[in-house]
Amino acid sequence: MTRIHISEVGPRDGLQSIDRVMPLEAKKAWIAAEAAAGVPEIEVGSFVPPSLLPQMADTADLIAFAKGLEGLAVAALVPNFKGAERAIAAGAEKISIPFSMSETHSLRNVRKDHAAMLAEIRAIAELVASRPADSRPHFEVGLATAFGCTIEGPVSEASVVRLAAAAIEAGAVEVGLSDTTGYANPAQVRRLVRAVKAEVGDGRLNTLHLHNTRGLGLANALAGLEEGITTLDASLGGLGGCPFAPGASGNIVTEDLVFMLEAMGYETGIDLEKLMKVRAIIADALPGEPLYGFTPDAGLPLGFGKVAA
């Protein structure tokens, strides 16, 4: 049975996309409940300046809390070298930096062009390498807007392949493909995963970060699985988007993704009934905030999880 690694990004990608700030204790309850349901990795926040995203101001506190949860890998997003320094000081076990394949989006999102971003990646890689082996976080570069951009439109697949290779050359352990704007389709996912893997190696591309903006999130996830992807980002209740990409709406719903994988015979290690109960924490802390997902609304099919004779 193939194991698929689910990385929950709601506490970061979901909460950065709404105006209200979830109280710290509610975030802790959310993270603890997902860990108890068997979610193996949670991106608990980002080290963006609080003046830009006050929703992320307590990320260091969340890392300290989450590291006390048994079996949970604790991840954080960093926009730059300074953010990486803060994440490493806080004890993050995985750090990811967004590297927009659309240069216009990169300038809008982190105020750096491609050359400046590659220099930033190299500096962070050197910082990570300077740490003792037992406190060295896993460093991933997320290739944002890899499938298209709401500002530029289509993004050249050849450019994505070239920039993926440049990120690896600059010292990233791996790259992930991010459908930041919800533009991807399954054929495009298959084509781009194959092309990037062919350039950087199978082991250097394991992750897809998908949005469900046009309803293709799960179809795109399945296409990625068929090309050897083993890690999928998702957000509880489909919270998420990108504040700097107009029209980019929610991530794929963690509950629906886990249901699809388990129904297909993949192993996730997640108790789906426990996972769906976590939604109540968000609903209580953020009353009126829309939560998405077909599986939580419909419930699990009779006999789900039982092997037919």
Catalogue the active-site residues: 242
Rounded to whole angstroms, the Cα distance separating 188 from 299 reads 32
184-216 residues labelled b (16+ CB within 10 A) or e (exposed): bbbebbeebbebbbebbeeebbbbbbbbbbeeb
Hey, what are 239's tokens?
A: 């919270």
Beta carbons within 8 Å of 96's beta carbon, 6+ residues apart: 43, 75, 76, 77, 78, 139, 140, 141, 142, 176
Hey, what are 187's tokens?
A: 């054929």
Identity of the amino acid at 284: D
143 within 8 A of 175, measured Cβ to Cβ: yes
257 within 8 A of 218, measured Cβ to Cβ: yes
